[in-house]
Amino acid sequence: MQRSWLTRALHTLLALAVTHQLLVSLVMEEPEEGEAEGLLFELHETVGLVTLGILLAFWLWALVRRSETPLGALFPWLSPGRLRELAADIGRHLAALARLHLPEYRPASPLAAAIHGLGLLAVTGSALSGLTWWLGEEGLVAHALAEAAEEVHELFGNLVWAYLVGHAGMAVLHRLAGHDEISAMFSLRPGGR
Contact footprint for ligand HEM (CB under 6 A): 1, 7, 11, 14-15, 18, 21-22, 25, 30, 44-45, 48-49, 51-52, 68-69, 107, 112, 116, 119-120, 123, 126-127, 130-131, 133-134, 150, 153-154, 157, 160, 163-164, 167-168, 171, 181-182, 185
**CB of residue 77 to ligand HEM, shortest distance in Å:** 16
Cβ atoms of 114 and 86 closer than 8 Å: yes
**CB of residue 187 to ligand HEM, shortest distance in Å:** 11
Nearer to ligand HEM, 4 or 83 (CB): 4
**CB of residue 28 to ligand HEM, shortest distance in Å:** 7
| Interaxial angle between packed helices 80-98 and 110-137, expressed in degrees from 0 to 180 and rounded to the nearest 10 | 110
**CB of residue 9 to ligand HEM, shortest distance in Å:** 12
Return all residues near 103 (Cβ < 8 A) that are at least 6 apart: 92, 93, 96, 97
In angstroms, rounded to a whole number, what is the distance separating the alpha carbons of residues 187 and 178? Answer: 17
**CB of residue 115 to ligand HEM, shortest distance in Å:** 9
Buried b or exposed e, range 47-81, using 16+ CB within 10 angstroms: bbeebbebbeebeeebeeeeeebbeebbbbeeeee
**CB of residue 26 to ligand HEM, shortest distance in Å:** 8
Burial tier of 149 (Cβ tally within 10 Å: 0-12, 13-18, 19+): buried
Burial tier of 33 (Cβ tally within 10 Å: 0-12, 13-18, 19+): exposed
Residue type, 84: R
Nearer to ligand HEM, 76 or 157 (CB): 157
